[in-house]
Structure 1
Amino acid sequence: MPDTLSLWIRHETRPNEQRAALAPEDARRLIERGARLTVEESTQRVFPIHEYAAAGCEIVPQGSWVSLCPAEAYVLGLKELPDEPTLLRHRHIFFGHAYKGQARARRLLRKFEAGGGVLLDLESLVDADGHRLAAFGYWAGYAGAALAVLHRRGLLTAPLAVLSQSELDVRLRQSPAGEVLTAVVIGAYGRGGRGACDALRTAGVEPSRWNSAETRALDRDALLAHDILVNAIGTDHPVAPFLTKAALDDPRRRLSVIGDVTCDVGSDLNALLVYDRVTDWAHPVERLCRRPRPLDVIAIDNLPSLLPAEASRAYSADLWPLLLALREGSPVWERCLHDFRRAIGSRDGG
């Protein structure tokens, strides 16, 4: 690997995606340690481009990585690449979602294979025990629980809009007089679960915290006795479902809002077998049934994007020291490279 680390931070093309993998203050930290950073202009990134320029980054037009990025640089982003180019020749770092049979996975991997490029998937950025070293989970949980509370109180409006945490917290504290809400968080001690619990407490709701002990012998009646369910469990293997469609007709059900932070719908890992598609910013809520009482689900797969500044800064703080290790042949990045090569070598593309 070259002595000088070169990173090219690309513009995100996904609508409503204002996050950045690297915040300006952490870009400065990398530059102070000898890295070279190039940042594309962006019409939607939460951090203004002048903050990157002030940190010492070179500024270039958005989308210019395709033609201008040198071969030795790593192209850094978060979400999916645009459809063009069809051949990927660079080394890319982003959430490729390409190794677990996800939609479009084979197509993406074929583009890398055809162009000779490399994907270092941020999903594979784990330690030797498989634990994520950088993740957006806390803010996904915070946003998911917050939306569930606001909807339960009739305060959620669509389409959703980007907020700061302080703006969101003001809304969460608008508790109707005499209201008594109950909520349960599954996966309460992981990153997402901790974020969900913090948002609920901000809203004046003290959650029940469930983890593997409670789900191993799940008390479904107790689950249905809550007003709100926030699912923030993280698992890499199938588990017994927490809810099935039989729960929709249960006359004892108090549950009226599900906030699914995990969003494993369509996967073998899905533990909420009561809905079949994610929701989005334009239509954040789907009604599952009206009787014996309404039950709604919120299942947005880019929840941290609702709080882009807080989510980006937290993620960047975890990521920048790991990026510095790219020039050292770190085992962390070698695991990412191994996962990519294994996926390319498989016949079905992951």
Structure 2
Amino acid sequence: MSELHLWLRHETRTTERRTPIVPSDARRLVESGVTLTVERSPQRVFPIEAYEEAGCRVAGTGSWVSAPPDAVVVGLKELPHEPGELRHRHIFFGHAYKGQPGAAALLRRFLAGGGALLDLEYLVDDDGRRLAAFGYWAGYLGAALAVLQHRGALRAPLRPTSKQELDAELAGAGAELKALVVGALGRSGRGARDALAVAGTEPTCWDLAETRDLDRKALLEHELMVNTVLTTRPIPPFLTDKDLDEPGRRLRTLCDVTCDVGSPWNVLPIYDATTQWERPARRLREDPVFDLIAIDNLPSLLPREASTDFSAALVALLPDFGAGGAWGRCLERFREASRELGSEEGEFRDV
């Protein structure tokens, strides 16, 4: 681990205030012999001075493009469109393996530069369970925003806050609300259930058994739904446009925490674009009303809490970087996707 050089990059998305490595964990890495370079970032929730005090090197915003070839670039969300050739190993949520928009283009950039994607979504244990995830906070915020929208209390644009402030706003807002959490037994589902408890409602909880043989009529009888299901294979959709046009529909508010829009595996093919902090809810039907929330970086609304939890999980895995195991599976998934892309395009290559 003493030869590992991590390069923590600035996030280009203006609403992204999280970080995958917080200063206290950065100190642990440095003390263990890791070289950690941290880019300046005007919106990161932790100031650059905290990283300097932890013993990190400091670099300019976006300077990862000229980082040493052996540096491992660490981030969370999408990369900027340039450079066109990616020569480093990158750790982030790439969303590149399920046919999402832009997935093939991203993989081509890695192939062109000789780099590699270690997608955090595929950093999993032997049973396929994610080892570092923001799921709990995504579910918590998804349910919280859905309740506030349903009650007409969601204010736009959204702004980062603290759990204490959010809970004060949420307390009791969901009383007597008939809510449904789909994927209730997972991390995101647990977060959604906890937020709904603060709001004063006990939701209906569905997981694998209930979605395997979906009772669509029962689903539409709920007023609010939070979807936290992340599929790894195509399954029948939970909602369709036809369902939204059902005259007896009671469902008025949906938060799709998963935001798998654009993927052929999407279980909610009723919308074609995510919503944003500036306009968090989109009205898909007027009579009766149906509002959608589909924000793909929900945990950034609680950046300090979400970053601290995620960093603890990720940093615990970094001593084994390059030693096979979960990281090896992550790399092999990239190689598999690259071979598939090359085969589709008539180019047979290995990486």
TM-score, reference length from structure 1 = 0.93
Which residue of 2 is the match for residue 336 of structure 1? 330
Which residue of 2 is the match for residue 66 of structure 1? 65
Q: CA deviation at 1:42?
A: 0.6
Which residue of 2 is the match for residue 296 of structure 1? 291
The answer to whether the 8 Å contact 1:343/1:349 transfers is no
CA distance in 2, matches of 1:14, 1:66: 17
Change (3 A) 1:92 1:201: same
Q: Which amino acid aligns with 1:39?
A: V
Which residue of 1 is the match for residue 146 of structure 2? 148
CA distance in 2, matches of 1:99, 1:314: 26
Q: Which amino acid aligns with 1:245?
A: D
* Cα deviation 1:10-52 (Å, max 9, x = unaligned): 1111120111011111111112222111111111101111111
After superposition, residues 5-84 of structure 1 pair within 5 angstroms as 5-67=4-66, 69-84=67-82
After superposition, residues 116-265 of structure 1 pair within 5 angstroms as 116-173=114-171, 175=173, 179-265=175-261
Q: Which amino acid aligns with 1:45?
A: R
The answer to whether the 8 Å contact 2:252/2:291 transfers is yes
Q: Which amino acid aligns with 1:59?
A: V
Which residue of 1 is the match for residue 311 of structure 2? 316
The answer to whether the 8 Å contact 2:180/2:226 transfers is yes
CA RMSD of aligned residues (A): 1.8
The answer to whether the 8 Å contact 2:27/2:54 transfers is yes
CA distance in 1, matches of 2:203, 2:176: 12
Identity between Structure 1 and Structure 2 (%): 58
CA distance in 1, matches of 2:69, 2:171: 50
Number of residue equivalences = 344
Change (3 A) 1:89 1:216: closer
Q: Which amino acid aligns with 1:189?
A: L
Stretch of structure 1 that moved more, 274-283 or 185-194: 274-283
Q: CA deviation at 1:236?
A: 0.8
CA distance in 2, matches of 1:108, 1:217: 36
The answer to whether the 8 Å contact 1:5/1:324 transfers is no
CA distance in 2, matches of 1:104, 1:253: 35
Change (3 A) 1:107 1:275: closer
Change (3 A) 1:184 1:321: same
Stretch of structure 1 that moved more, 46-55 or 120-129: 120-129
CA distance in 1, matches of 2:173, 2:333: 47
The answer to whether the 8 Å contact 2:221/2:250 transfers is yes
Change (3 A) 1:349 1:43: farther
Q: CA deviation at 1:107?
A: 1.9
CA distance in 1, matches of 2:65, 2:329: 26
Q: Which amino acid aligns with 1:54?
A: E
Which residue of 2 is the match for residue 106 of structure 1? 104
Q: Which amino acid aligns with 2:334?
A: F
CA distance in 2, matches of 1:349, 1:121: 21
CA distance in 1, matches of 2:271, 2:70: 45
The answer to whether the 8 Å contact 1:106/1:349 transfers is no
